[in-house]
């Protein structure tokens, strides 16, 4: 009888431990609430696009070196698309952690984890055919300069389409994450200021 109780309590304790560990691993960042309405708290995401050719590294020093190393390309594209460089850095941190060779199991490629038209992503079919047929190739997306530029352009286009960052980031992220992805990126953006 004693061994049955030990097994029972061991299973219960082990289950609680696994659930606790899984929740800690799956939510490394504090998720903040953000409404789909335009929020003035994040109005600083846009910066003035000036003609000044000298670009200083203006991303927060709180970002790890894996992100800081891409500062020049981040600032260049932030200036081109009137984005806050910290927003681009937040997406990059969430997507690849600054690893230019990142390749996800779903087929997303590079620093900004963009789905290409070839590779694993070529097998994703939508109503009108392959979902990503109008996207760049994997080879193009493994180029950091091209990847950051393409991802930055996607971000501003999604913002212009949806009118707010929460919906734009939801559309940028994985289809099955919903607003969780957007909230994580907005939390990174806020916490790394």
The pTM of the full predicted model, rounded to 2 decimals, is: 0.69
For the segment 26-54, what is each residue's pLDDT rounded down to a tens digit?
444 443 333 334 343 433 444 333 444 44
Catalytic residues: 95
More confident residue, 23 or 63: 63
* Domain extents in the chain: 1-30, 34-191
Write phi, then psi, for 60 (nearest 5 degrees): -60, 140
For the segment 108-162, what is each residue's pLDDT rounded down to a tens digit?
899 999 888 666 655 555 667 655 557 788 899 999 999 999 999 999 999 999 9
Q: Rounded mean pLDDT of 58-83?
A: 96
How wide is the angle at C-alpha 61 spanned by C-alphas 57 and 64, nearest 5°? 105
Architecture of the domain delimited by 34-191:
Orthogonal Bundle (1.10)
15 falls in which pLDDT band (50, 70, 90)?
Answer: low
Per-residue 3-state assignment (H helix, E strand, C coil) for the chain: CHHHHHHHHHHHHHHHHHHHHHHHHHCCCCCCCCCCCCCHHHHHHCCCCCCCCCCCCCCCCCCCHHHHCCHHHHHHHHHHHCCCHHHHHHHHHHHCCCCCCCECCCCCECCCCECCCCHHHHHCEECCEECCCCCCCHHHHCCHHHHHHHHHHHHHHHHHHHCCHHHHHHHHCCHHHCHHHHHHHHHHHHHCC
**Cα–Cα distance for residue pair 107/124, rounded to 1 Å:** 10
187 falls in which pLDDT band (50, 70, 90)?
Answer: very high
More confident residue, 165 or 24: 165
More confident residue, 118 or 179: 179
Question: 101 is written with which tokens?
Answer: 């060779």
Q: For residues 24, 27, 30 and 35, what is the CA-based torsion angle, rounded to 10 degrees?
A: -150
């Amino acid at each position: 009888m004693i061994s049955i109780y030990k097994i029972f309590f061991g299973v219960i304790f082990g289950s609680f431990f696994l659930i606790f560990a899984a929740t800690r691993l799956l939510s490394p960042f504090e998720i903040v609430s953000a409404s789909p309405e335009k929020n003035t708290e994040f109005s600083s995401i846009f910066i003035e696009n000036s003609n000044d050719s000298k670009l200083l590294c203006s991303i927060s020093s709180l970002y790890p070196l894996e992100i800081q190393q891409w500062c020049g390309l981040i600032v260049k594209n932030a200036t081109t698309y009137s984005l806050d460089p910290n927003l681009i850095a937040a997406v990059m941190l969430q997507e690849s952690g600054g690893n230019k060779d990142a390749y996800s199991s779903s087929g997303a490629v590079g620093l900004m984890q963009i789905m290409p038209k070839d590779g694993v992503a070529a097998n994703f079919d939508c109503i009108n055919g392959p979902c990503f047929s109008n996207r760049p190739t994997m080879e193009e997306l493994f180029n950091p300069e091209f990847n950051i530029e393409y991802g930055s352009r996607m971000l501003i286009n999604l913002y212009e389409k949806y009118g707010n960052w929460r919906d734009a980031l939801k559309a940028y992220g994985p289809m099955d994450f919903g607003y969780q992805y957007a909230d994580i990126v907005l939390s990174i953006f806020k916490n790394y200021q």
